[in-house]
Amino acid sequence: MLTELFTLNGEGDGDKIRRAAACIREGGLVVFPTETVYGLGGDATDPRAAEKIYAAKGRPSDNPLIIHIASPADAEPYAVLCPLYERLAAAFMPGPLTVILPVRPSIPRSVTAGLDTVAVRCPRHPVARALIAEAGVPIAAPSANLSGSPSPTCASHVAEDMNGRVDIILDGGDCEIGLESTIVKLEPDGGLTLLRPGAITPEQLAPFTENFRIADAVLGRLKAGERVLSPGMKYKHYAPKLPLFLLDGPLAARLSYLEQQEGKCAVLCYEEELAAFSRLPSCVPISVGKQSDPSALAHRLFYLLREADKGSYTRLYAPLPRPDGLGLALYNRMIRAAADHIIRV
Ligand code: TXA
Ligand code: MG
């Protein structure tokens, strides 16, 4: 398949988005930017489009897709809405929040992997919104990476995975947030369960219900036999090819641990630690911004995981973020990317 790359640079952007929308309506696949990560989109009402998405990603078809809509009320023909959805939508949509709701028959089973629920998201990126509105159908879109690798946050990383597998890539530059949306499930008792942390934090969501829960899998591996609330939780995720280790402890202890390691390793570190790590002969330190600004690490994490694979390193080290606020999303992605290799020093 020939993949066309459309760079959105202000010139003829409307035409490029119209061509991409027509491609979606005709059953094709279009990669588009969102404020979180790039999405691999197809018509969410067309079962064949969902099958093409699973094939392009190499994704198991028991892992359902999020449907993207242009405005929160547009979910009505596809999902059973409720007052809590309306309140969350008023506060956080358009934006990086995905809500799991009871599905209506208009969404094919291939999109929901046969579940009785559907994931609904209204992105705020102007290109995503224009594409969905122009297509006139909801767009089913997982992150636009090959299954198991870090989500792409820029068009060149999309092209590395998706060239020849999709019809069109819309290049809208770097994604603002850099981590996938927060996913919450609305429970029949009026509660909310956090299935995947993101830029909308638990602290922001908890006031919306008396029963706010964080699924166990968010903070660690599933225990044997545990019921999976979100099928995506059971798959290996976000992993670079390079072995990744998370170092947990004070700066001095992390430095002395690394001093004893052999081989050339890349070390993600906070800006204020850069000078100290630069003194270690076998380490190449890479700044992830100030420790007080987790959004800087969020913005660059997946980008850096992919770029580290291109260097001639033997290992990659990163700090273990504190699991609160946006840090919870970082912690969740990083323990998975590192397959739970946490070194306490
Ligand atoms: O930010 C995002 O959410 C990006 C952009 C493109 O919108 N999309 C994204 O999609 O991250 P994906 O497919 O990579 O991750 C969606 C997750 C998967 O782990 C899937 O298992 C879960 O959402 N999911 C989808 N539908 C679900 C459902 N009905 N119930 C529970 N989990 C669901
Ligand atoms: Mg994904």
Per residue in 254-285, pLDDT (tens digit) is 999 999 998 899 999 999 999 999 999 989 99
Query: Binning pLDDT at 50, 70 and 90, where does residue 35 land?
Result: very high
Q: Does pLDDT of 228 surpass 90? A: no
Q: Does pLDDT of 54 surpass 60? A: yes
Ligand 2 geometric centre to CA of 231 (Å): 11
Which ligand 1 atom sits closest to the C-alpha of 183?
A: 23
Query: Does ligand 1 have an atom closer than 6 angstroms to the CB of 218?
Result: no
CA atoms within 13 A on the CB side of 34: 32
Query: Does ligand 1 have an atom closer than 6 angstroms to the CB of 145?
Result: no
Percentage of the chain exceeding pLDDT 70 = 95
Residue 232 is predicted with a pLDDT of 59
pLDDT digits over 279-295, tens only? 999 899 999 999 999 99
Ligand 2 geometric centre to CA of 327 (Å): 19
What is the C-alpha separation between 153 and 149, in angstroms, rounded?
12
Q: Does pLDDT of 233 surpass 70? A: no
What is the C-alpha separation between 69 and 131, in angstroms, rounded?
10
Residue 239 is predicted with a pLDDT of 82
The closest ligand to the CA of 124 turns out to be 1
Nearest-CA residue for ligand 1 atom 33 is 230
Q: Are 7 and 145 in contact (CB under 8 A)?
A: no
Residue 61 is predicted with a pLDDT of 86
Give the pLDDT mean for 43-49: 97
Residue 200 is predicted with a pLDDT of 98
Q: Does pLDDT of 6 surpass 70? A: yes
What is the C-alpha separation between 223 and 181, in angstroms, rounded?
24
Query: Binning pLDDT at 50, 70 and 90, where does residue 339 land?
Result: confident
Nearest-CA residue for ligand 1 atom 3 is 181
Query: Does ligand 1 have an atom closer than 6 angstroms to the CB of 181?
Result: yes
Nearest-CA residue for ligand 1 atom 15 is 142
Is residue 83 classed exposed, middle or buried when 0-12, 13-18 and 19+ CB atoms within 10 A define those classes? exposed
> Rounded mean pLDDT of the chain?
94
Query: Does ligand 1 have an atom closer than 6 angstroms to the CB of 110?
Result: no
pTM: 0.95
Q: Does pLDDT of 197 surpass 90? A: yes
Within 10 angstroms of residue 134's Cβ, the number of other Cβ atoms is 17
The closest ligand to the CA of 146 turns out to be 2
Give the pLDDT mean for 68-90: 98
Residue 230 is predicted with a pLDDT of 60
Q: Does pLDDT of 16 surpass 90? A: yes
Buried b (16+ CB within 10 A) or exposed e, 140-156: bbbbbbebebbbbbbbe
Query: Does ligand 1 have an atom closer than 6 angstroms to the CB of 64?
Result: yes
Give the pLDDT mean for 154-183: 98
Ligand 1 geometric centre to CA of 183 (Å): 7
Which ligand 1 atom sits closest to the C-alpha of 36?
A: 1
Q: Best mutation site among 125, 230, 301, 333 for ligand 1, i.e. most ligand atoms within 8 A of its Cβ? A: 230
The closest ligand to the CA of 30 turns out to be 1
CA atoms within 13 A on the CB side of 76: 6
Residue 220 is predicted with a pLDDT of 80
Residue 238 is predicted with a pLDDT of 77
Query: Does ligand 1 have an atom closer than 6 angstroms to the CB of 21?
Result: no
Query: Does ligand 1 have an atom closer than 6 angstroms to the CB of 171?
Result: no
Non-local (6+) Cβ contacts of 298 within 8 A are: 177, 178, 179, 199, 326, 329, 330
Q: Best mutation site among 54, 62, 154, 183 for ligand 1, i.e. most ligand atoms within 8 A of its Cβ? A: 183
